[in-house]
A = this chain, B = another copy of it.
């Protein structure tokens, strides 16, 4: 298989309301950086993806929901990440998702930093991230200037942008979150980051 050590980005699809995506979000930049690869953070909406896959949210499924809560806590302990749930949870993640695209168009590195921090605040510390005010406050704590964002967030352009990003994701085969694409190789799930890491290391197998 062809190895492309050309520094092209690893695409990272996620929904801010996915706790497994939270766990991934705290380590993915560091892992990809070791291989000279930046991460292209792309929020999507799992609800829209599930209209295509026909799935229910994992946490809402009998037996699987209970197991997943236990697995999540164990995974969080394994990677030393704090775990807490905002109220309500699951929550609608359109605001932070649109905010990230808004910032991404202006400062890619800041968008990555904000994405990681929003995840940490909501699933590490149980903080709400679903309002423009909450996103702006958290950005401010990271030293990121969001002037102009609150006017844009309610406008048609950002709404349309997020819709298009979800369509592109579905067309690329994205069936859940977190979901990564390395060159043309897809990896679904926080539990596939070890394969992704080996793939970047070896160029594939």
Contact of A71 among B49, B63, B71, B188 (CB under 8 A): B188
How would residues 152 to 190 of chain A score, 1 for a CB under 8 Å from any chain B CB and 0 otherwise? 000000000000000000100111100000000010110
- A195: interface (CB < 8 Å): yes
Minimum C-beta distance from A148 to chain B (A)? 36
Give chain B residues whose Cβ lies under 8 Å from the Cβ of A88: none
Which chain B residues lie closer than 8 Å to A62 at the CB level?
52-54, 175
Interface size on A, residues (CB 8 A): 32
Closest Cβ neighbor of A78 among chain B residues: B205
Interface residue? A56 (CB, 8 A): yes
Q: How far is the CA of A31 from the CA of B192 in the complex (A)?
A: 20
Q: How far is the CA of A19 from the CA of B73 in the complex (A)?
A: 27
- List chain B residues, Cβ under 8 A from A141: none
Asked whether A55 is an interface residue with its Cβ less than 8 Å from the other chain, the reply is yes
A66 within 8 A of B: yes
Give min CB distance, A205 to chain B, whole Å.
Answer: 5
